[in-house]
Amino acid sequence: MAHTHKPLHDQVIVITGASSGIGLTTARMAAEAGARVVLAARDGAVLARVQAEIEGVGGKAIHVVADVGERAQVQAIADAAVAAFGGFDTWVNNAGLTIYGRLWEVSDSDHERLLRTNLWGTVLGSLVAVEHLRRNGGALINVGSVGSDLAFPLQGMYCASKHAIKGFTDALRMELFEDGAPVSVTLIKPASIDTPLPQRAKNYTDHEPKLPPPVYRPEEVANAILHAAVHPQRDIYVGGGAKALASFKEFAPGAYDALAPVVTALQKRGDPPQDAQDALHAPSRPDGAARGTHPGYVMRTSAYTRSTLHPLPTTALVAGLGAAAALLVRASTRGPRR
């Protein structure tokens, strides 16, 4: 079903997980494009600073302190958007956390908290948003991961949550289609993105965690999200590396499984873990940072993603995928850095 959405400058956009990383970057870019923004996260002090920053340059924003794992608090986000702006046109479920550790080492309470934020937060956000969007039309955008299509060691429950988000999103899309609802549903699947996610993770390992390459800037994800808010697409991979990995796993699952030691090594820095409290159960460390501290190269753009959003000649698309695949092979054969 084709959907026609308003231009960004006429939209009200709700963004969960707006206090750091992808959410913060998306909020800034949306406000810069003229959208009115509803910022939601657990850290009220950071949200207030972001709101002031947006309003300081002429933008319009409100913020709502909310734990997306609680339905009443998610409903409060929607109610605040209606009270301030008369409703919303796009809802972005972005809030998420991760845990580094073997599945059998992680406590049940930590597993449950991750699922409550990543999965249940997306479920609740989607269902609350759809109640409004089914009547008024608009876009629902869920941020999954390359982990929606494949798994990797040390972040097993994170991958499980992203697999579940994909299944839920696909089922919801079908039900809305059957209902004839004027709602587009997009799943964003980023590769590794240079955000504070590893530094905010609960870490059970004996090393400081990091992201496996290739790594992209959060602006690439924000660009894909805001594109989908106006020009709906079913799924968007962010980073040619994400598409290349998913394709490799689909066609050679056994060979992909055999990469487990390499993938594990690529998620560990050479340093011991920092003595810092994680943000799994509460926003215990200051948020407000869009970029992380990835020690390696961060790709500025993804030719593959730009091609899928704004079609280019096929040769450019192939070249982007080839470059991503070459980076993956080089990283895999290099092994852990000593």
Task: Tell me the per-residue pLDDT of 65-92, one tens digit each, with 9 for 90 and over.
Answer: 999 999 999 999 999 999 999 999 999 9
Evaluate the omega torsion of the peptide bond into residue 214 and state whether it is cis, within 30 degrees of 0. Answer: yes
pLDDT in tens, 259-299: 999 999 999 998 888 867 788 999 866 678 999 999 999 98
pLDDT band, residue 187 (cuts 50/70/90): very high
pTM of the model: 0.90
pLDDT at 218 over 70: yes
pLDDT of residue 333: 46
Residue 336 has pLDDT above 80, yes or no: no
CB 201 within 8 Å of CB 278:
yes
Task: Say if residue 318's pLDDT is above 60.
Answer: no
Please give the span between the terminal C-alpha atoms of the chain, in angstroms, as a whole number. 52
Active site residue 297: no
Q: Which one is catalytic: 100, 158, 216, 237? A: 158
Q: What are phi and psi of 268, to 5 degrees?
A: -125, 135
- Position 203 pLDDT exceeds 80: yes
Nearest to 155 by CA among 216, 194, 102: 102
- pLDDT, residue 175, reads 98
- What integer pLDDT is reported at residue 78 of this predicted model? 98
| CA-closest candidate to residue 157, choices 96, 116, 115, 191 | 115
User: What percentage of residues in the chain have a pLDDT greater than 90?
Assistant: 80
Q: What domains does the chain contain, in order, with CATH numbers?
A: 9-333 (3.40.50.720)
Residue burial 115-145, b: 16+ Cβ < 10 Å; e: rest: bbbbbbbbbbbbebbbebbeeebbbbbbbbb
Q: Which long-range contacts (CB under 8 A, 24 or more apart) does 101-106 make?
A: 101/154, 101/202, 101/203, 101/204, 101/205, 102/153, 102/154, 102/156, 102/204, 103/156, 103/157, 105/204, 106/157, 106/202, 106/204
Q: For residue 99, what pLDDT is reported?
A: 98
Name the band, by pLDDT with cuts 50, 70 and 90, for residue 327.
low
- Please write the tens of the pLDDT for every residue from 228-258: 999 999 999 999 988 898 898 989 999 999 9
Report the side by side order of strands in the sheet with 90-93. 60-65, 36-41, 12-16, 90-93, 138-143, 183-190, 235-238
Q: Which two tokens stand for residue 84?
A: 């301030």
How many residues does the structure list for the chain?
338
H-helix or E-strand spanning residue 35: none
| pLDDT value of residue 273 | 87
**H/E run at residue 63:** strand 60-65
Share of the chain above pLDDT 70, in %: 90
Query: What pLDDT sits at residue 334?
Result: 53
Task: State the DSSP H helix or E strand holding residue 82, giving kind and residue range, or none if neither.
Answer: helix 71-85
Q: Which residue has the higher pLDDT, 322 or 189?
A: 189
For residue 120, give both structure tokens. Answer: 């249940």
Structure tokens at 153: 């060691």
Q: What tens digit of pLDDT does each residue of 5-48 get? A: 999 999 999 999 999 999 999 999 999 999 999 999 999 999 99
Cα separation, 73 vs 49, in Å, equals 21
Q: Which amino acid is at 309?
A: L
pLDDT on residue 241: 86
Local confidence band at 313 (pLDDT 50, 70, 90 cut-offs) = very low
* CB-CB neighbours of 296 under 10 Å: 16
Structural contact between residues 294 and 215, judged by C-beta atoms closer than 8 angstroms: yes
Task: Determine the Cα–Cα distance for residues 238 and 220; give it in Å rounded to an integer.
Answer: 7
Q: In whole numbers, what is the pLDDT of the chain averaged over residues? A: 91
For residue 335, name the pLDDT band (cuts at 50, 70, 90).
Answer: very low
